[in-house]
Structure 1
Amino acid sequence: MEEAASYFRIGEGKLRKLVSDNPNAEYLLWNGNRVQIKRTRFEKFIDTLSAI
């Protein structure tokens, strides 16, 4: 989460909220209880938003 927040310049809290609101999103990869973000798919998702 820290690395993704830094890479995408999104606050960690906001990123955690996006994950908790969309636990089955295509840009997430779950490794047990740990979540990883698929960069290219998350970038496409962000491109569709007007604001985060």
Structure 2
Amino acid sequence: MSNIYEIPYWNKYTLSIEEAAGYFRIGECKLRKIITENPTADFILWNGNRMQIKRKRFEEFIDRQSVI
């Protein structure tokens, strides 16, 4: 029995690049490129030097795009 409680992606507030790639079905390199092109976007949260993606805000960003 594991002591680790795993929260499903769809319930998390922020996602790592790896988690976001799996959840949104977008490659990690493409996600890093989107973040590089939008450094002040409201869907990015920096934890030290680690990028976290605010799931709901990134969903809203994706909804506004016609091409990724």
Offset, 1:22: 1.0
The one of the two structures with greater contact order (alpha-carbon pairs below 8 A, sep at least 6) is 2
In 2, Cα distance between the equivalents of 1:30 and 1:49? 23
Query: Hey, what does 1:40 align to over in structure 2?
Result: 56
State TM-score, norm by structure 1.
0.94
Query: Hey, what does 2:14 align to over in structure 1?
Result: none
Identity of aligned residues (%): 67
Offset, 1:17: 0.2
Cα RMSD (Å)? 0.6
Spell out the pairing of 1:1-52 with structure 2 (5 A cutoff). Answer: 1-52=17-68
Q: Which runs of 4+ in 1 moved over 2 A?
A: none
In 1, Cα distance between the equivalents of 2:39 and 2:51? 9
Offset, 1:21: 1.1
Mark the runs of 5 or more structure 1 residues left unpaired by the alignment: none
Bigger share in helix: 1
Figure out how many residues of one structure are paired with residues of the other and give that number. 52
Mark the runs of 5 or more structure 2 residues left unpaired by the alignment: 1-16
